[in-house]
Structures are given as C-alpha cells and as structure tokens.
A = this chain, B = another copy of it.
Amino acid sequence: MKIAVLPGDGIGPEIVAQAVSVLNALDEKFEMETAPVGGAGYEAAGHPLPEATLKLAQEADAVLFGAVGDWKYDTLERALRPEQAILGLRKNLKLFANLRPAILYPELAGASTLKPEVVSGLDILIIRELTGDIYFGQPRGVRTCPDGPFQGEREGFDTMRYAETEIRRIAHVAFQTAQKRGGRLTSVDKANVLETFQFWKDIVIDVHREYPDVALEHMYVDNAAMQLVRAPKKFDVIVTGNMFGDILSDAAAMLTGSIGMLPSASLDANNKGLYEPSHGSAPDIAGKGIANPLATILSAAMMLRYSLNKAEQADRIEAAVKKVLAAGLRTPDIYEPGTTKVGTAEMGQAVVAAL
C-alpha cells in the first residue's frame, strides 16, 4: 500500500516528519513517496499543485497532508496561491466527505476558553461536504451587474448549488457514521432563506427513511453557531454543506482550545482519503521545532483506519498519544504549569516510544 506524503509549507514538513516516524515504527510497512505542494509546489514547479504531485496523490491509496500557506505568497494571483492546492486535491480526488472530530482530551480541559463543565468530555464529529456548494459552483466572477438597482456597475458573484446525488451521498455517510456513534444527527442548513438548503433539507429527510434508528434534527446555521457556544456537548454528529462546514468545524475545533490535537479525514466514495491536521501552516513558528505534531500523528491514525484498513494500528497510535499526554508531555501550544514542555521531535519520538 502506497501513501503520498505532501508536507507543504510552514510547520507542515516538521509535523509530517513526526507522523512518518510513527508510521515507520509500526510492524506493518508502507511505501511512502513525498512531493511538494502549496507554496513548496509553487517554488518547485511554478504551481501550488504540480502535475506530478497530483499524479502521485491519484495513484496512492491515501494522502498524508501537512499544511499549506505562507504570507510570502499573499501577493500571487489567486490561482497560484497555496490554498488552491487543497481545493484542487479535493476536487480532482473527489474527496466529498470531510470528517472533523472535535474532541477534548481530559488532560487538556484547561486549554479551552469555555468553562470546564461546558466542554469537559466533548466529543462531536462534524461531517462537511467538501466538493460542492459555493466553493466550486459556476458561474462566478466579477461582471457588470445585469439588472436591479445596481445595473451597469461592477459586481462580484458566485453560485451556490447542490445536486441531489451530492446531498444523498454525504447524507448516507452522515447517517452511517451516526449509527456507529451516539445515533444522533443534526443537519445544519439555512432552509428559511436559501433554495439550495431547502433542497438539502428535503433530500436529507428522504434519506433518513433508510435510517430509522438515527434521531435526525434540523438546525439553522446561525442557531448552530450559537448552540456550539452554548451547549456543544448536546451534539453528536453534525452534517452540513461546504461553506457552513468550513465555519462551524473551525469554531467547534476552537472550543477545545487545543486545535493542535485535532485530525481530519477527507474521503472519496471508496474510502480513499486525504488526512491532515485541522490547524494551519503557522508560518510564524515554522522551523523553530515547537509545533505540535499530534494532530498530524492522529491524522495518520485516521488514515490507517479509514483508507488502509488497519484499525488495530490506528488504535495503537491513538493509545500511544493518550499515554504521552498522561505522562505530562506538552508542546508549547498546550502547555500548562505542572506539565513537561517538549518540542516537535521530542513529542513525536515519545509517541514512537509509547507504541
């Protein structure tokens, strides 16, 4: 089995290196091939997603991704900016199902900005549709406003859209995931305003008929943003579109106060996937050896479970991470007095030792 390793920019290479060490320490051996992506892709081949990188990702059984982006690419035209790599990979690999757990490790309860009683034991999963919605809808651009009160002047515009098949397949993923968890699913929409999401809601209700054992509720996105702050533990699985999912999954991750701990998976219809930490490339601390590699290591565990069918190895990695946390090791982002501050490599090697 082959893993495409795309470290990217900023802290990407440092944290991915630790995840690779952990994978190499398993009994099972994997073929891994590395390629540049994001700003590194632009430097190497003039494009954030070089052709050879895309080809490698397409041929591999799974992709381990670091992070992309750096201020120094801010002035490039949008098509060449690092984040286009991640959009291009999602679209080309048809990675329509993004799984973003927001879990608060008991040892890190203090890191949250929320009161302990509101977040302790938090364990929710946001399932974000990842290849549709206003992210890719056509037409889009800047044009002369065709009618209405601003006719004749310039306007920026985009198209939000979801086809029936796109909603059905993410709904199936969501219901099946809810079945394996607490049996509760919240579908987040804005059906009171958007045609796209009235349609979304109608289809989700229809798919629900195949999953009578799952309790389904519908919630408007503005209310969902409030409930995540008010009582996040009331959620089990949340499913929503690409745009709302972008916003809510980041808010949910931040509730834990330890986004450096949160992995993510982006899956296609055959469980091939791209795995990456939920945090960004953090160029301000790149190269300092202080970034938290655990989200990436836990992403590698998700990869073993979902794409490579090695659930036992995934369990081993997750248990090892819990062990190092219990032993009090902390990178600076999750450090608290009374624990032991360690760097990126030290943390990665501690996980290897705990395997």
Contact = CB atoms under 8 A, between A and B. Distances in A.
A138 B146 CA distance: 10
Interface stretch (A176-184, A250-258, A284-292): A250-258
Contacts of A221: 246-247
Given A113-B114, A162-B156, A200-B156, A195 B226 contact: no
B194 A222 contact: no
Contacts of A118: 113
B250 A251 contact: no
Contacts of A195: 140-142, 156-158
A199 interface: yes
Query: Helix, strand, loop or mixed for chain A's interface?
Result: helix
A355 interface: no
B161 A157 contact: yes
A198 B229 CA distance: 29
Most chain B beta-carbon neighbours within 10 Å: one of A159, A160, A226, A247: A247
A81 interface: yes
B164 A153 contact: yes
Contact of A135 (B113, B193, B257): B193
A108 to B, nearest CB: 15
Contact of A166 (B141, B150, B225, B253): B150
